């Protein structure tokens, strides 16, 4: 259920998200309580975590973490990639609200990562320049895995490559957030901001937090 508890550290915020996902997996969520806090949120917000997630319709962030109105500051973009506007949004939330946890949330069967893998397997694959700009941001994390998979001249198992690439892409976004912004790097180094990666499983509903 939504809670008024506000964590004092990033680690405490992480525990709240883990507990919320466990409620979601066990079908113990309580969406009818979400709207009760609307009046108190008119003046201010105090989100307990910042989430950089994928736009995929099957991964609605508040629902999978069983959080309510005002609890999460969410940025969603296909492939949970990091570009200047994503970094700026996170800088804003971390500085304006003092939110101490950032989660990069990838997910199984991600279409954006799959599109990127397809461009490596079939270089003649064409996307619009706008979609290509997303694919290009995913490419570095997929490229090495693809090189490794093709090193022996064997056929690539596309599903396995997508699966591994999803986690590599999350880790790359985490790294870019930790080191792609002076403001975020300072907060991280002083222990005021925790940036972690996670993967949502479409089949089980579970969020698995990745070792950094
Ligand atoms: Zn996705």
Distance 76 CA to ligand 1 centre (A): 10
Separation of 78 CA from ligand 1 center, angstroms?
Answer: 6
**Rounded distance between C-alpha atoms, residue 196 and residue 177, angstroms:** 10
pLDDT band at 121; cut points 50, 70, 90: confident
Domain count, the chain: 1
Do the beta carbons of residue 177 and residue 195 sit within 8 Å?
A: yes
Distance 53 CA to ligand 1 centre (A): 8
Is the full-model pTM beyond 0.85? Answer: yes
User: Which of 1-15, 17-31, 76-90, 177-191 shows the lowest mean pLDDT across its residues?
Assistant: 1-15
Task: Report in angstroms the alpha-carbon separations of 37 from 12, 33, 40, 65, 212.
Answer: 22, 8, 6, 17, 34
Closest C-alpha to 165, from 202, 103, 110 = 110
| Token digits of residue 24 | 């979601």
Contacts 24+ apart (CB under 8 A), 126-133: 131/78
Q: Are strands 194-200 and 207-209 parallel, antiparallel or unpaired?
A: antiparallel
| Intra-chain end-to-end CA distance of the chain, in Å | 29
What is the 70 CA–ligand 1 centroid distance (Å)?
24
Distance 83 CA to ligand 1 centre (A): 16
User: Does residue 46 surpass a pLDDT of 70?
Assistant: yes
Q: Which two tokens stand for residue 76?
A: 């969603």
C-alpha 79 to ligand 1 mean position (Å): 5
Domain of residue 137 covers 44-209
d(CA 183, ligand 1 centre) in Å = 27
Residue 48: CATH number of its domain: 3.40.1050.10
Ligand 1 centroid, distance to 125 Cα (angstroms)? 19
Ligand 1 centroid from CA 27, angstroms: 23
**Whole-angstrom Cα distance, residue 200 to residue 48?**
19
Instruction: Say whether pLDDT at 129 is over 90.
Output: yes
pLDDT tens profile 151-206: 877 777 889 999 999 999 999 999 999 999 999 999 999 999 999 999 999 999 99
pLDDT tens digit sequence for 5-19:
789 999 999 999 999
Contact 21, 207 (CB under 8 A): yes
**102, pLDDT greater than 90:** yes
Establish if 15 belongs to a structural domain: no
- Would you say residue 194 lies in a domain? yes
| Residue 188, in any domain of the structure | yes
Residue 1: its pLDDT value, please? 52
pLDDT value of residue 183: 96
Q: Is residue 37 part of a domain?
A: no
Query: What is the distance in A from the centroid of ligand 1 to the CA of 71?
Result: 22
């Amino acid at each position: 259920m939504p809670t008024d508890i506000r964590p004092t550290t990033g680690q405490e915020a992480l525990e709240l998200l883990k507990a919320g996902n466990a409620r979601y997996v066990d079908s113990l969520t309580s969406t009818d309580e979400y709207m009760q806090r609307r009046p108190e949120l008119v003046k201010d917000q105090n989100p307990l975590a910042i989430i950089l997630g994928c736009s995929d319709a099957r991964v609605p962030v508040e629902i999978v973490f069983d959080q309510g109105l005002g609890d999460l500051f969410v940025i969603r973009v296909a492939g949970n990639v990091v570009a200047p506007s994503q970094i700026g949004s996170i800088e804003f939330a971390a500085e304006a609200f003092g939110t101490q946890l950032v989660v990069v949330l990838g997910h199984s069967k991600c279409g954006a990562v799959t599109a990127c893998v397809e461009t490596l397997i079939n270089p003649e694959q064409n996307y619009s320049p706008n979609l290509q700009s997303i694919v290009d941001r995913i490419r570095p994390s997929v490229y090495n895995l693809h090189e490794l998979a093709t090193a022996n001249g064997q056929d690539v198992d596309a599903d396995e490559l997508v699966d591994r690439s999803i986690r590599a892409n999350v880790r790359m976004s985490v790294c870019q957030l930790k080191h792609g912004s002076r403001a975020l790097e300072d907060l991280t180094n002083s222990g005021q901001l925790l940036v972690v990666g996670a993967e949502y499983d479409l089949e089980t509903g579970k969020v698995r937090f990745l070792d950094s």
